[in-house]
Amino acid sequence: MATKKLDLNKVRNIGIIAHIDAGKTTTTERVLYYTGMIHRIGEVHDGSATTDYMEQERERGITITAAAITANWSDHQVNVIDTPGHVDFTAEVQRSLRVLDGGVVVFDGVAGVEPQSETVWRQANNYGVPRICFVNKMDRTGANFQRCVDMIVERVAGHPVVIQIPYGEGAEFAGIIDLIDMVLITYEGEMGNDIKRHDIPEAYREQAETRRLEMIERVVENDDFLTEKYLMEEEISKDEMLGAMRAATIAGKIQPVLCGSALKNKGVQTMLDRVIDLLPSPLDVPPVRGTHPKTDEELVRHATNDEPTAALVFKIITDPYVGRLAFFRVYSGTVKAGSMMLNTTKGERERVGRIVRMFADRREDVEEVQAGDIAAILGLKETFTGDTLADPTHPIVLEKISFPEPVIELSIEPNSKADQDKMGVALRRLAEEDPTFKIEVDDKLGQTKIKGMGELHLEILVDRMMREFGVQATVGRPRVAYRETITRPARVDTTFKRQTGGSGQYARVVFEFEPLTDEERAALPAGEDSMFVDSIRGGTIPKEFIKPSFNGAKDAMAGGVLAGYPVVGMKVTLVDGAFHDVDSSEMAFKVAGSMCLKEGVQKGGPVLLEPTMKVEVSVPEDYTGTIVGDLSARRGIIVGMDPRGGGATSVRATVPLGEMFGYATNLRNMTQGRGAFTMEFDKYSIAPSHIAEEVVKSGR
């Protein structure tokens, strides 16, 4: 049976992105309900949200994995990805943004722009994702719509254009005033299904007209034809207004701002209408670029079924019943069940087994997926996050997704021999799903270490390992993932010579080591943290021995010199050396490179680097002094303090991660359970000497 051709103009690939607790999952739940995907609304607070289908998500009331759902709204297919807001799961947001065409950024009407909102906004900027803003929780005491709009400008340098204003705020919130149609919209009935449109009440008329004028001015300045009409005082039609607003939104020049309360079922349907009106279809975004795996020639693929297939896998889920599910976005061509594809990232051929379309945790088999669409494949063996699947006769590698390095680690030991085997399988599966989760076996201690983005991240992975894979294990305390670097240049000349009867081993290398400058650091490719430069002239070291020299240096850097932590932020230049016609080998140069690096770091004024976190604490005003004092005692630097709605204050600081373990309990005790905080990685900073001495002494 021929598959009906997808009308790409009627497809929207959108993500719902925001800070933790801004109401993303609640909003997604409403989207599913109003689009007819579910018939009963589940709630986060009672553990029944459709997209939070993992046990850990339901218990904690937070989203951990990005859930992809297909829904239909006013004759359009909408692929929605509900992403996590907690900073420990930032990789989930990053990989989702990589494949989305548009985003709905949800803000808490009381808290405004919070730290993780800044992070997701920055990530959306990096990937060029057009977005609209939804100011949620307008029914809460202390909600302030205008303050939220101002914060979008102050905190994230956004270009908000207000297209709706709330009809009342806090307990008075009763509906929204739409500035495009100039009507008051109310949502009646228990589920807000009964949408009524009224004339704007007199008390709000002047404000609505002023705001509408501001909106028109902001939109027409991006369109020469409409600017002329506006200056000539001619009427601008609704279609012209929406067309210009859509073009400016897609170009990233503006971000339309809407409002509502997802929990109280107000504003979500109108938000969906504006998703269709203002966010791009796969045809509105630039064609995807990639390279030929063998020649590195740049290639372009357009969103059409007629071009060779190119798809990007952006997420892996291990399902206990059906095995591995690989979520993918098709950029060009079609992916058919049963066909052969080439994983161009790894050079492996893969057979596409079943293709399923996801409705949160319910799935439906489909025969093929066309350009511009998102679905999941069962049965891929070698394909992981960031890999490209392409037509074997027209290979292309799409740009990989780069992820941040883990900042926290803990040791984990199985309780029995049977658990040891199960633990190996479980950790490998979890690492396949999550690119920010790293496993390291310490041969000296015979210990397994797991590394992640934060305490919650590792806690959930360990919980999943024990529940889903039945592993019993003893878990150590979380520890900071330090780094090492040098503070001054050093030049080292190392000769490795060994004679053991017959041919010996000989290699001489001269390395210059320097700390990276800010410009050099900025120019590093994604995922790299040091620079290696070959300055050999006149063949003093043959070409085949240069790579082993650098590999030896890299191996030594991974094992650290001061306290066993990876060495980063260094420029390593190979400037000279010597070889022997008979005795030189790749192994000899590798050993020489390793010896040279260890000596170079010792000579280069080695220091320990510790991860510093951006921390934001929200507390009632009475506790501000206590919180500031406590953060300062934790070696924190206070960056700023802002008043929040409802008599609360937000304290922003940068604090070393090592001082923040167990902070949640302390904060509860200091504020009688009324404080809340968020934390995200900022940068690595030089640790004070007394901390470095402690770390070196404890041999951590």
Comparing 3-7, 19-23, 86-90, the range with the smallest average pLDDT is: 86-90
Q: What is the pLDDT of residue 177?
A: 95
Report whether pLDDT(360) > 60. no
- pLDDT (tens digit per residue) in 459-493: 878 887 887 788 888 888 778 888 999 999 999 99
Is the separation of the CB atoms in 156 and 122 below 8 Å? yes
State the amino acid at position 78 in one-letter form: V
Q: How confident is the model at residue 602 (pLDDT cuts 50, 70, 90)?
A: very high
Q: What is the pLDDT of residue 88?
A: 43
- pLDDT (tens digit per residue) in 175-226: 999 999 999 999 998 888 889 999 999 999 999 999 999 999 999 998 889 8
Q: How confident is the model at residue 46 (pLDDT cuts 50, 70, 90)?
A: very low
Average the pLDDT over 41-67 and give the result. 40
Q: What is the pLDDT of residue 696?
A: 84
Tokens of residue 140, six digits: 């809460």
Please tell me the distance from the alpha carbon of residue 502 to that of residue 510, in angstroms, as a whole number. 27
Give me the chain's average pLDDT, please. Answer: 84
Which residues are paired to 677 by β-bridges? 617
- pLDDT (tens digit per residue) in 290-320: 888 888 888 999 989 999 999 988 877 766 5
Comparing 93-97, 283-287, 411-415, the range with the smallest average pLDDT is: 93-97
* Burial environment of residue 509 by CB neighbours within 10 A (0 to 12, 13 to 18, 19 or more): buried
Average the pLDDT over 246-272 and give the result. 92
Place of tokens 């803000």: 107
Of 54 and 547, the one with more pLDDT: 547
Of 297, 279, 282, the closest CA to residue 333 belongs to: 282
Q: What is the pLDDT of residue 95?
A: 61
Please tell me the distance from the alpha carbon of residue 210 to that of residue 228, in angstroms, as a whole number. 20
Q: What is the pLDDT of residue 677?
A: 81
Of 435 and 167, the one with more pLDDT: 167
Percentage of the chain exceeding pLDDT 70: 87
Report whether pLDDT(53) > 50. no
The Cβ of residue 382 has, within 10 Å, a number of other Cβ atoms equal to 12
Q: How confident is the model at residue 630 (pLDDT cuts 50, 70, 90)?
A: very high
Of 138, 695, 77, the closest CA to residue 357 belongs to: 77
What are the backbone dihedrals phi and psi of residue 495, each rounded to the nearest 5 degrees, phi first?
-115, 130
The Cβ of residue 534 has, within 10 Å, a number of other Cβ atoms equal to 15
What order do you get walking across the sheet with 194-198 strand by strand? 164-167, 175-178, 183-188, 194-198
Which residues are paired to 378 by β-bridges? 325
Sort strands 131-136 and 255-259 into parallel, antiparallel or unpaired.
parallel
